[in-house]
């Protein structure tokens, strides 16, 4: 109720003009781009007008720019748009003064300044992103490949830009004064999700903390900005003409107890997450916000033995699989450790989870958390199950071997018998899921299985085997293929 009252009070204050919310907002995609929305105040006369906006990012996609009256009352006809991103620098000013004589000041060593006249023969400036060359300066009729001191430049021209600038030639039928909406796509902004999962030494109950980490390498600082995050596989053509991004030192901002919460909703075919409070995202900054905290989540540990050490089956013709007797004789001994987490409200989750890295920690007997594995998850809708590989079990091993093979081309069948041995060196019993791939042909029958099995796919079966401490257990079956 307190939250609702606060929202209503802010809405009323805004309606009465007491609160003026900044118009700047961002929607950041986890594919290294974002949509920026800002406001451009325009005071236009009837006919042709010239306007500019000197606060865009350095990676704006200029052909994505939208400038419009959000009320729809003023028809803005954009006759021309230009973009300049060569802000003032010493190299640029030297290039503007090539062929001219300017002053250079140097320190004489006793606190005095010495001024010399030098003609700029070559500035060495190659423009933004280009490799700078050596300048050539003529002093007293002699050339030198260095600056004779700190250059002192004449006043800036009116068309010199200090920041990346968009400029327009706008035609309107009659005079108008408005706050136009500016929207554009920019590179250099991205976000990702990270999940930390902490469990006790024993048991499957864990606590999950999720972080949103977003990075700003766009060349612009966003102050007091409404930020939304779009999750999903959005089709975006990657531009090939953009210069490589040079990253600076990032500042990691940890979230405090007052960090903004994150809410999410479905949007088109994707999911949109909104930071409830405005944030400041500085250029070349990495910032983190906690977006999920879920204690008491069931994360079942599952052991899987998939012992068929055979790779490249997907591209192998079926006839080759059926007729090649040598296939299926290799064995892998590793037993994989998986975690299964149901993304449901009953399991204290139940919200769309954006893709990201998942790290698992276990607390030792003294409460010390130890890292036990990590992997990545894809975008996961509500009520789906996460299956995450965290590593291989140290005290569990498997062995797969073929004990018999018969091929009868006249009667069109192959019989193949497989024996699997599981060993448990732990002090507690475990259940191991044994996955078997019936890769030789699409028509098959299992004959004389030593353990019950389940068909989980067209050519995959699964055994669930209970193995006691320090026990070696065997299972076997015969696959009868016909064609």
Where is pLDDT greater, at 169 or 5? 169
Q: What is the C-alpha to C-alpha distance for residues 190 and 33, in angstroms, rounded to an integer?
A: 6
Q: What angle do CA 149, 150, 153 make, to 5 degrees?
A: 125
Give the pLDDT band of residue 242 (cuts 50, 70, 90). very low
pLDDT single digits (tens) 403-458: 999 999 999 999 999 999 999 999 999 999 999 999 999 999 999 999 999 999 99
Coil vs helix vs strand at 10: helix
Q: What is the pLDDT of residue 272?
A: 75
C-beta of residue 369 within 8 angstroms of C-beta of residue 207: no
Q: How much is the mean pLDDT over the chain? A: 83
Q: Among 94-108, 202-216, 425-439, 468-482, name the one with the lowest average pLDDT.
A: 94-108
Coil vs helix vs strand at 340: strand
CATH entry 3.40.720 includes domain 299-341+385-482: no
pLDDT single digits (tens) 83-123: 877 666 778 788 878 888 999 988 877 777 888 899 999 88
pTM of the predicted model, to two decimals? 0.67
**Taking the CB of residue 390, how many other CB atoms lie within 10 A of it?**
18
Q: Return the DSSP state at 329.
A: -
Q: What is the pLDDT of residue 6?
A: 25
- Asked if the model's pLDDT at residue 239 lies above 50, the reply is yes
Average confidence (pLDDT) over 174-199 = 93
For 394, list phi and psi in degrees, rounded to 5. -75, -40
Q: Among 26-35, 153-162, 277-286, 457-466, name the one with the lowest average pLDDT.
A: 153-162
What are residue 145's DSSP bridge partners?
none
C-beta of residue 341 within 8 angstroms of C-beta of residue 470: no
Average confidence (pLDDT) over 10-18 = 30
Instruction: Choose the most confident range, by mean pLDDT, from 127-136, 202-211, 250-259.
Output: 202-211
Sign of CA dihedral 150, 154, 157, 158: positive
Q: What is the C-alpha to C-alpha distance for residues 54 and 35, in angstroms, rounded to an integer?
A: 17
pLDDT single digits (tens) 325-384: 888 888 899 999 999 999 999 999 988 888 899 999 999 888 899 999 999 998 888 899
Q: What is the pLDDT of residue 267?
A: 45
Q: What is the pLDDT of residue 471?
A: 96
Residues in CB range of 431: below 8 A, 6 or more apart: 303, 464, 465, 466, 467
- Asked if the model's pLDDT at residue 280 lies above 50, the reply is yes
């Amino acid at each position: 109720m307190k939250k609702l009252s606060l929202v209503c009070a802010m809405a009323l204050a805004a309606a009465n003009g007491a609160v003026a919310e900044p118009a700047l907002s961002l929607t950041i995609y986890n594919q290294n781009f974002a949509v920026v929305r800002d406001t451009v105040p325009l005071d236009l006369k009837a006919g042709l007008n010239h306007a500019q906006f000197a606060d865009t990012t350095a990676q704006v996609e200029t052909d994505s720019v939208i400038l419009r009256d959000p009320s729809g009352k003023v028809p803005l006809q954009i006759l021309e748009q230009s973009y300049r991103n060569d802000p003032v620098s010493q190299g640029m000013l030297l290039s503007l003064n090539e062929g001219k004589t300017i002053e250079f000041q140097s320190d004489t060593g006793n606190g005095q300044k010495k001024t010399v006249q030098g003609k700029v023969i070559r500035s060495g400036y190659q423009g933004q992103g280009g490799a700078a060359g050596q300048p050539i300066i003529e002093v007293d009729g002699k050339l030198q490949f260095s600056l004779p001191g700190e250059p002192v430049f004449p006043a800036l021209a009116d068309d010199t830009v200090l920041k990346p600038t968009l400029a327009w030639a706008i035609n309107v039928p009659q005079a108008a004064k408005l706050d136009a909406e500016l929207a554009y796509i920019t590179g250099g902004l991205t976000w990702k999700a990270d999940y930390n999962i902490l469990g006790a030494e024993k048991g499957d109950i864990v606590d999950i903390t999720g972080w949103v980490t977003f990075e700003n390498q766009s060349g612009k600082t966003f102050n007091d900005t409404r930020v939304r995050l779009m999750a999903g596989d959005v089709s975006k053509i990657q531009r090939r003409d953009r210069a490589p991004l040079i990253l600076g030192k990032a500042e990691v901002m940890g979230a405090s107890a007052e960090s903004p919460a994150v809410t999410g909703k479905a949007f088109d075919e994707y999911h949109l997450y909104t930071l409830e409070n405005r944030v400041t995202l500085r250029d070349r900054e990495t910032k983190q916000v906690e977006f999920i905290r879920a204690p008491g989540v069931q994360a079942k540990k599952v052991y899987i033995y998939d012992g068929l050490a055979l790779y490249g089956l997907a591209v192998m013709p079926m006839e080759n699989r059926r007729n090649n007797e040598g296939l299926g004789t290799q064995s892998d001994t590793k037993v994989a450790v998986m975690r299964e987490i149901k993304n449901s409200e009953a399991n204290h989750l139940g919200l769309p989870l954006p893709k990201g890295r998942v790290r698992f920690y276990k607390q030792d007997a003294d409460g010390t958390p130890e890292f036990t594995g990590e992997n990545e998850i894809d975008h996961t809708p509500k009520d789906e199950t996460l299956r995450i590989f965290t590593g291989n079990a140290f005290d569990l091993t498997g062995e797969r071997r073929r004990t018999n093979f018969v091929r009868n081309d006249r009667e069109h069948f192959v019989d193949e018998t497989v024996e699997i041995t599981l060993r448990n060196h732990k002090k507690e019993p475990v259940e191991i899921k044994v996955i078997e791939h019936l890769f030789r042909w699409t028509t098959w029958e299992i004959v004389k299985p030593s353990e019950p099995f389940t068909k989980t796919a067209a050519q995959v079966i699964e055994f669930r085997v209970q193995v006691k401490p320090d026990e070696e257990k065997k299972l076997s079956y015969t696959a009868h293929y016909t064609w």
